[in-house]
């Protein structure tokens, strides 16, 4: 795994963050050292897949990056199911292809390099994973997308939605941001790396509050929304159609 040193040197100008070849090369290290509980999220994606994915249905991984969440689903996928993993970054899909090919489990995986907003979700689908990706979709596109996803899911089908959130109270929000930065420091990131990455993500990763997520999922057609994970300002929800 290549170490993420992308923001280690002072940059004269911080461009908006993009999922390009430089990021794809270090992404496994970047996400593990940036998202507190990332490994647990992956382990629980397997557990939730085992509970909700149905035989002979489609399972979707939206924003699959290098395929870590795809493989977490694949290792728990029921007979006859098929995984469709989507990412719009060619450099991610290329590496995901290799990672999926090296994995020995047999559930078929179709990798699509496409914008999730353009994809037609094929029924019947019983499980969709949206692990840390909705936050990169422009806010006005979020409800229409989630509504199309809910429509493609069978009754009782589930969405796993993991996100970075913001808190409505500015002081509480800052407390969790500080703790998240403490986590990154503990992972070996310098103050410069933390500050430059933060600027790069400004207006690219746009977090919602937990209440906004829950209300939007209900509006999109999910009848039950259960928060099951939080570590600092990262959460995961189980939304059942």
Positions touching ligand GEK (CB under 6 A) are 19, 31, 63-65, 68-69, 86-89, 92, 115-117, 131-133, 136-137
* Euclidean distance between CA atoms 100 and 68, whole angstroms: 9
Please say which residue, 61 or 81, places its beta carbon nearer to ligand GEK.
61
Number of Cβ atoms within 10 Å of the Cβ of 193: 19
Strand order in the sheet with 234-240: 109-113, 82-87, 58-62, 125-131, 153-164, 234-240, 224-231
Beta-bridge partners for 158: 127, 240
Find all residues with CB under 8 Å of 122, minimum gap 6, and list them.
58, 84, 152
Q: What is the nearest approach in angstroms of ligand GEK to the Cβ of residue 49?
A: 13
CA-closest candidate to residue 60, choices 141, 181, 151: 151
Q: What is the nearest approach in angstroms of ligand GEK to the Cβ of residue 11?
A: 19
Please say which residue, 31 or 150, places its beta carbon nearer to ligand GEK.
31
* Euclidean distance between CA atoms 199 and 36, whole angstroms: 20
Is residue 75 exposed (0-12), middle (13-18) or buried (19+ Cβ within 10 Å)? middle
Please say which residue, 11 or 117, places its beta carbon nearer to ligand GEK.
117
Q: What is the nearest approach in angstroms of ligand GEK to the Cβ of residue 171?
A: 25
Q: What is the nearest approach in angstroms of ligand GEK to the Cβ of residue 92?
A: 4
Q: What is the nearest approach in angstroms of ligand GEK to the Cβ of residue 162?
A: 8
CA-closest candidate to residue 21, choices 56, 82, 51, 66: 66
Please say which residue, 116 or 225, places its beta carbon nearer to ligand GEK.
116
Please say which residue, 105 or 223, places its beta carbon nearer to ligand GEK.
105
Euclidean distance between the first and the last CA atom of the chain, given in angstroms as a whole number: 37
CB-closest chain residue to ligand GEK = 63
Q: What is the nearest approach in angstroms of ligand GEK to the Cβ of residue 210?
A: 18
Please say which residue, 119 or 225, places its beta carbon nearer to ligand GEK.
119
């Amino acid at each position: 795994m290549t170490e993420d040193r992308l923001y280690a040197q002072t940059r004269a100008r911080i461009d908006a963050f993009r999922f390009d070849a430089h990021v794809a090369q270090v992404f496994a290290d970047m996400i593990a050292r940036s998202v507190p509980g990332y490994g647990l999220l992956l382990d629980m994606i397997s557990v939730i897949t085992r509970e909700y994915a149905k035989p002979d249905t489609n399972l979707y991984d939206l924003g699959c990056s290098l395929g870590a969440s795809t493989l977490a689903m694949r290792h728990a996928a029921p007979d006859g199911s098929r995984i469709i993993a989507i990412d719009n970054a060619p450099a991610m899909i290329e590496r995901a292809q290799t990672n999926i090919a090296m994995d020995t489990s047999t559930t078929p995986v179709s990798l699509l390099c496409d914008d999730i907003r353009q994809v037609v979700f094929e029924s019947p689908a019983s499980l969709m994973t949206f692990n840390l990706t909705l936050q990169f979709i422009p806010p006005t596109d979020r409800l229409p997308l989630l509504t199309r996803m809910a429509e493609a899911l069978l009754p009782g089908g589930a969405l796993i939605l993991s996100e970075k959130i913001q808190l409505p109270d500015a002081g509480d929000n800052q407390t969790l941001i500080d703790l998240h930065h403490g986590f990154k420091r503990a992972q070996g990131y310098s103050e410069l790396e933390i500050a430059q990455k933060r600027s790069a993500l400004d207006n690219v990763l746009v977090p919602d509050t937990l209440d906004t997520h829950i209300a939007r999922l209900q509006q999109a057609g999910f009848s039950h929304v259960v928060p099951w994970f939080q570590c600092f300002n990262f959460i995961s929800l189980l939304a059942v159609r």
